[in-house]
Amino acid sequence: MKIESVDFFYLSMPEVRDIGDGSQDMLLVRVRAGDHTGWGECEAAPLPTIASLVCPMSHSACKPVAASVVGQRLDAVEDIARISRAVRENSLDLLQAAHALSGVEIALWDLLGRRYETPVHALLGFSRTYPKTAYASALFGDTPEETEAKAARVRADGFRAAKFGWGPYGRGDVEADAAQVHAARAGLGQDALLLVDAGTVWGSDVEAAAARLPALEECRVAWLEEPFVGGALESYRRLAGRAATVRLAAGEGAHDPHLALHLIDHAGIGYVQIDTGRVGGIGPARQVADYAVRRAVTFVNHTFTSSLALSASLQPYAGLADHALCEFPVEASALARDLTPTPITPDADGQVAVPEGPGLGLDVCPEAVRGYLLDVEITVGGTTLYRTPALTT
């Protein structure tokens, strides 16, 4: 079958706040081929990503993403890899292309799975799937008291693990950060898994990060996530050498698998976190997962938006029994919640099952999110390159 259209939809909450919550807007992707439709989601700012789909060619390595996708054959898994290579080559100098490709690639897997009535994880070669322990992913509260209350709520909801990040953490003094971590531990109780996300707040400053290690170790925090920007490999390696019990986690910002492999090889991380909506989609994420297995680094999904994105992020390691943690957003916006009528939810034991339906195993409900749709028109030199299409199944 031939890919007939790739459509992007800019969805947004009425108010987007200046907080670390990526679920406040969304770039939803729809791919159509023959009688089949696939859905995907980018983890990216919607407007520049739409532009990367349709922008005029600047030169031979800076072409719009659509030029490498629309009209291509899609009959097998190998076709997805071929199309992805074409996008990487033809849009090499179009930096937003990696984000656009991620959403398109996810939609291609969903479409192919629906065509063959097969789950994506089966197309990836997994003969069975393993449930993942969901960790409740939330922002630190503005005060330690608010953080403790949040932690107590997620524990009462049945989560056996939780991660707190961003907010005020790392932006005040060492004592203030220690109070936040102790509050999270107090709210979760002593037997739950506690994780902390610094959101790259220290840039490459090893001493600033190291000053927080005593409180993290006292509270038995399993990992410190993204203390530094993704390319600060030496800073990661040095901090990893100074941490007694806390492991480092990173990788969500990788927009191709090579960046993630460098973190695994040179940064001393214990956990590599991959967002399928950024790294290039499900296929590249699977490459990183396979490499992590060989290098004895634990693969973890990264997602902070909808159940559609969550399902995509689970597929690359669905069949890996020993890689058993799963990020689960517990503060997602109404937009993210409304996208899929049957969301992924943890069971009574705090476990998340990988969807078993065709493709990503979830249906998208256009009617439920049409009220979030922002109309966009891109016109260059009097020619309209993009106009928001009709949001239908």
Please tell me whether residues 315 and 274 are part of one structural domain: yes
Alpha-carbon span 236 to 264, nearest angstrom: 11
Count of domains in the chain? 2
Alpha-carbon span 24 to 287, nearest angstrom: 29
Sheet containing 36-42: which strands, arranged edge to edge?
3-12, 25-33, 36-42
Alpha-carbon span 25 to 161, nearest angstrom: 26
Please tell me whether residues 83 and 201 are part of one structural domain: no
- Asked if the structure places residue 64 within a domain, the reply is yes
Alpha-carbon span 209 to 264, nearest angstrom: 20
| Residue labelled with tokens 């517990």 | 330
Please tell me whether residues 115 and 250 are part of one structural domain: no
Which CATH number belongs to the domain containing residue 187 in this structure? 3.20.20.120
Query: Amino acid identity of 151?
Result: A
pLDDT at 37: 98
Alpha-carbon span 113 to 115, nearest angstrom: 5
Which CATH number belongs to the domain containing residue 115 in this structure? 3.30.390.10
SS3 assignment, position 29 = strand
pLDDT at 284: 98
Alpha helices by DSSP H, listed for the chain, are 46-54, 77-90, 97-115, 120-123, 144-156, 174-188, 206-210, 213-218, 233-242, 257-266, 276-279, 282-294, 307-314, 334-338, 366-369
Give the domain range for residue 52: 3-119+364-387
Alpha-carbon span 185 to 219, nearest angstrom: 6
pLDDT at 253: 94
Alpha-carbon span 101 to 40, nearest angstrom: 10
- Asked if the structure places residue 358 within a domain, the reply is no
Alpha-carbon span 269 to 250, nearest angstrom: 7
Alpha-carbon span 27 to 346, nearest angstrom: 25
pLDDT at 295: 98
Please tell me whether residues 260 and 230 are part of one structural domain: yes
Q: Which residues of the chain have a pLDDT value below 50? A: none
- Give the pLDDT confidence of 280-296 residue by residue, as tens digits: 999 999 999 999 999 99
- Other CB atoms within 10 A of residue 331 CB: 15
Neighbouring C-alpha atoms within 13 Å toward the C-beta of 298: 16
Query: Amino acid identity of 42?
Result: C
Please tell me whether residues 236 and 144 are part of one structural domain: yes
- Asked if the structure places residue 392 within a domain, the reply is no
The pTM score is: 0.97
Please tell me whether residues 301 and 374 are part of one structural domain: no
Alpha-carbon span 179 to 187, nearest angstrom: 12
Alpha-carbon span 80 to 62, nearest angstrom: 20
pLDDT at 45: 95
Please tell me whether residues 294 and 368 are part of one structural domain: no
Determine the Cα angle at 264 with ends 260 and 270, to 5°.
120
- Asked if the structure places residue 359 within a domain, the reply is no
Alpha-carbon span 27 to 25, nearest angstrom: 7
Alpha-carbon span 1 to 94, nearest angstrom: 28
Token pair, residue 140, equals 């630190």
Please tell me whether residues 311 and 194 are part of one structural domain: yes
Q: For residue 229, which of 197, 202, 265, 193 has the smallest C-alpha distance?
A: 202
Contact 338, 113 (CB under 8 A): no
Please tell me whether residues 167 and 302 are part of one structural domain: yes
Please tell me whether residues 201 and 109 are part of one structural domain: no
pLDDT at 393: 87
CA of 305: how far to CAs of 88, 275, 331, in Å?
25, 11, 9
SS3 assignment, position 357 = coil
- Asked if the structure places residue 335 within a domain, the reply is yes
SS3 assignment, position 342 = coil
Those residues with Cβ within 8 angstroms of residue 291's Cβ, 6 or more apart along the chain or in another chain: 257, 260, 261, 264
Alpha-carbon span 392 to 28, nearest angstrom: 12
Please tell me whether residues 167 and 313 are part of one structural domain: yes
Please tell me whether residues 235 and 368 are part of one structural domain: no
- Asked if the structure places residue 393 within a domain, the reply is no
Following DSSP, what letter does each residue of 47-71 receive, concatenated? Answer: HHHHHHHHPPP-BTTB--GGGGTTT
